[in-house]
Chains A and B, each alone.
Chain A
Amino acid sequence: MSAVTSGRERAASQPPGGAGGTGDNEPSDARGPLGARFAGRGRRAGLVAAGAAVAVTLALPPMLTASQLSVYILLALSAMVTVGLSLLMGYAGQVSIGQASFYAIGAYAAGLLSVHGTPPLLALAAAPLIAALFAAAIGGPLLRLRGHHLAFATIALQLILISLLGEADWAGGSVGLQGIPRLSAGGTELGEDIHYAYLAWAAVAVTVLVARNVVTSRAGRGLRALATSETAASASGVPVARYKLAVFTLAAAFAGLAGGIYAFFIGYINPGSFPVLLSIQFLVMAVVGGLGTIWGALLGATAITLIVQFLNDLGSRPGMPASAPSILNYAVYAALLILVVLFLPRGIVPALRDAWQQRRIAGHAGAGTGTAERAEP
């Protein structure tokens, strides 16, 4: 049951981060070169890196302690949400500070359905669908908003959702939904945490593959155009509103799926499991890693989860005041967000990519002229 507490605490105490630092222009620089790089030899390096990442991911679970394992699972869930958010913010240029809404919707959908007798697997499959349906329904009017208006609207929606869930007796009200069964399929129950670890990471793999396909598809090119300039994209025939809605819906589906798994893994959810701070946490992960990059989302989620975990351990040592873990959490989220937005506005992964690129160019051209001459007129 330690998983429950750690999960809950996390959700409740993680400080926010923010994302969106990168304005509209950012996605464009980040993106243009990205596509080109995928085509070239970056592809092979990428495949090798991806292979290594997969191998490590698969090899890890048996080596982890119970509490580490639950962190590992929550990391996977955060990564799924962050991948979607990173697409949404990086490609569609939409700031969402309410992404935990869809996480909550997925969790409640899966929880309610399974509590009322729907086979768990079906309930899990329904989680992303219901979250996506919800996003598609509200996306039309909501995505007319831009910038800080959209940011506030997404927070507002989440607050409304939490408030309504707290009042909804059919959803357990503020007490929450208890007795969510464990996942099972064809008589086999996923009873062990390690099963959930593999399930969650399999879901991450699906998320990443879907996101990759979207990015490299024809629609992905349209999205890149959208990130560069909405007006230009719309002038060249990209159906801007439809694409924005599509990405919004897709991101919601990812979050819904993660929420569904969360509900089955934790077994108990209540409105307090999905605070605004959770949304902000996703935002920080996306921004720190680098908006619009899948690797960035994964790296951001991983880095932040590890840092937070480390600080939690540090803060809960004997002798530390009871509030130490949350103070450390807040401070580190805030510091990361501020520093990244101010000094690495495109995020870590694009910055590393640039540095790498530069070194290669420098190696070929002989001198480190690359950066100096990039000044814009």
Chain B
Amino acid sequence: MSDFLVYLITGLGTGCGIALIGSGLVLIHRVTRVVNFAQGTFAVVGALTAISLLDTGLPHGLSEVLGVAVAAVVGLLVGVIAIGRRGTSPQAALMVTLGLGILAYAVEVMLWGDQGRSSEGLSGAVTVFGARIQTHYLLIIGVTAAVFAALAGLFGRTDAGKALSACSSNPYAARVVGISVTRMGLIAFAIGGALGGLAGVLLAPMNSMAFDSDVALIINGFAAAVVGSMHHIGRTLAGALFLGVAEAMVAGYGSATYQTVVALGLVLALMIGQAARTHSVVAEAG
């Protein structure tokens, strides 16, 4: 029972990290229709920046915030290159983000070397129902809850959020009412960068971060985003939490080596199921 609880909390913590990455993907996709392959990169950049700042003696908190800020700037840069040029199709932009993810490898290896690094998280643990749970996991869960509440507020209540949604709903109409679709896209990339960076700084104490950690992060984030049909942030969160818990359970009760396989297998099945449904709908309509 206490094992179960530990796995559950661990899984929720990991799931929150995945959710932050996935929601960044969804946000960018919603506004620009671009699937951002560099989303995992933001996490790596955010985490490694924060770790370096901690090494220079900056306090916790400030280092993490700066790491997130740097990730947001990187997000903005990725956006400028991927969608800044007129007439770049979403497919082409996808390739560009893939390329930028690789370009980031060069920069990251140059700055931080090719070995994984991790940071000290929130120390201490609490005991709940006989299970020792590291406080850091609770921190991740709390921060993520706050971020998702903020996102819900942004999209549900503010004009800026509505304008972001308007870009994906009808880009032409957005231009007619004077919304700059490109600028909104860049904002989405910056927020996506910040979300990715936040995931990175939160996950860094649990998993060591290396330049190529982005593959696992993006794959998991994409899986969650697929659950949310690349559009719904709430469902993305649910998908991410489920994925995180499922992986933790597989790792805990089975073998850690199969956790990726299980997660990826789930996503594949889900995507193929979704595609089959869409096709049959199209067939009926036609």
Direct contact of A and B (CB under 8 A): yes
Binding site for B on A (CB under 8 A): 15-24, 95, 97, 141-142, 144-149, 151-153, 155-157, 159-160, 163-164, 166-167, 276, 280, 287, 323, 326-331, 333-335, 337-338, 341-342, 345
Shortest distance between the CB of A351 and any CB in chain B (Å): 15
Question: Provided the pairs A149-B271, A166-B257 are in contact, do residues A16 and B102 lie with their beta carbons within 8 angstroms?
Answer: yes
Residue contact B91 to A146, C-beta cutoff 8 Å: no
Residue contact B91 to A334, C-beta cutoff 8 Å: no
Residue contact A326 to B272, C-beta cutoff 8 Å: no
| B-side interface mostly | helix
Residue contact A280 to B260, C-beta cutoff 8 Å: no
Interface string of B250-269 (1 = CB under 8 A from A): 00000101101100110110
Closest partner residue, chain B, to A231 (CB atom)? B286
Known: A280-B98, A323-B114. 18 other contacts (CB 8 A): A20-B91, A24-B91, A97-B98, A153-B271, A153-B272, A157-B268, A159-B260, A160-B264, A160-B265, A167-B255, A167-B257, A326-B109, A330-B109, A334-B102, A335-B103, A338-B100, A341-B95, A342-B92
Task: List chain B residues, Cβ under 8 A from A155.
Answer: 215, 219
Residue contact A163 to B261, C-beta cutoff 8 Å: yes
Task: List chain B residues, Cβ under 8 A from A141.
Answer: 272
Cα–Cα distance between A160 and B216 once the two chains are bound (Å): 12
Task: List chain B residues, Cβ under 8 A from A24.
Answer: 91
Our pick among B89, B272, B279 for the contact of A142 (Cβ within 8 Å) is B272
Cα–Cα distance between A375 and B100 once the two chains are bound (Å): 30
Task: State how many residues of chain B have any CB contact under 8 Å with chain A.
Answer: 41
A-B contact list, 18 entries, CB within 8 Å = A16-B99, A20-B94, A21-B91, A144-B275, A144-B276, A147-B91, A152-B267, A153-B268, A156-B219, A159-B219, A167-B258, A276-B215, A287-B95, A326-B105, A326-B109, A330-B109, A337-B99, A342-B85
Task: List chain A residues, Cβ under 8 A from B257.
Answer: 163, 166-167
Residue contact B222 to A330, C-beta cutoff 8 Å: no
Task: List chain A residues, Cβ under 8 A from B113.
Answer: 323
Which 10 residue pairs spanning A and B have beta carbons closest together? A334-B103, A337-B99, A330-B106, A23-B91, A148-B35, A331-B106, A18-B98, A334-B102, A338-B99, A330-B105
Residue contact B272 to A144, C-beta cutoff 8 Å: yes
Closest partner residue, chain B, to A281 (CB atom)? B102
Task: List chain B residues, Cβ under 8 A from A15.
Answer: 102, 105-106
Cα–Cα distance between A24 and B90 once the two chains are bound (Å): 11
Shortest distance between the CB of B223 and any CB in chain A (Å): 8
The answer to the question of B110 belonging to the interface, with a C-beta cut-off of 8 Å to chain A, is yes
Task: List chain A residues, Cβ under 8 A from B276.
Answer: 144
The answer to the question of B96 belonging to the interface, with a C-beta cut-off of 8 Å to chain A, is yes
Closest partner residue, chain A, to B91 (CB atom)? A23
Task: List chain B residues, Cβ under 8 A from A17.
Answer: 99, 102
Interface string of B100-123 (1 = CB under 8 A from A): 111101100110011000000000
Residue contact B85 to A156, C-beta cutoff 8 Å: no
Cα–Cα distance between A328 and B110 once the two chains are bound (Å): 10
The answer to the question of B88 belonging to the interface, with a C-beta cut-off of 8 Å to chain A, is yes
Interface string of B215-226 (1 = CB under 8 A from A): 100010010001
Cα–Cα distance between A22 and B215 once the two chains are bound (Å): 23
Cα–Cα distance between A92 and B1 once the two chains are bound (Å): 52
Residue contact A18 to B95, C-beta cutoff 8 Å: yes
Shortest distance between the CB of A348 and any CB in chain B (Å): 15
Residue contact A20 to B103, C-beta cutoff 8 Å: no
Cα–Cα distance between A15 and B32 once the two chains are bound (Å): 26
Cα–Cα distance between A225 and B100 once the two chains are bound (Å): 32
Question: Provided the pairs A160-B264, A330-B106, A342-B88 are in contact, do residues A18 and B272 lie with their beta carbons within 8 angstroms?
Answer: no
Cα–Cα distance between A97 and B99 once the two chains are bound (Å): 13
Shortest distance between the CB of B276 and any CB in chain A (Å): 6
Question: Provided the pairs A148-B35, A155-B219, A167-B257 are in contact, do residues A327 and B109 lie with their beta carbons within 8 angstroms?
Answer: yes
Residue contact A156 to B275, C-beta cutoff 8 Å: no
Cα–Cα distance between A331 and B99 once the two chains are bound (Å): 9
Within 8 A of A (CB), among B34-57: 35
Cα–Cα distance between A171 and B265 once the two chains are bound (Å): 21
Cα–Cα distance between A167 and B255 once the two chains are bound (Å): 10
The answer to the question of B81 belonging to the interface, with a C-beta cut-off of 8 Å to chain A, is yes
Cα–Cα distance between A69 and B102 once the two chains are bound (Å): 28
Task: List chain A residues, Cβ under 8 A from B109.
Answer: 323, 326-327, 330
Task: List chain A residues, Cβ under 8 A from B106.
Answer: 15, 327-331, 334
Closest partner residue, chain B, to A152 (CB atom)? B222
Shortest distance between the CB of B217 and any CB in chain A (Å): 12
Residue contact B94 to A148, C-beta cutoff 8 Å: yes
Shortest distance between the CB of A36 and any CB in chain B (Å): 26
Question: Provided the pairs A156-B267, A323-B114 are in contact, do residues A144 and B279 lie with their beta carbons within 8 angstroms?
Answer: yes
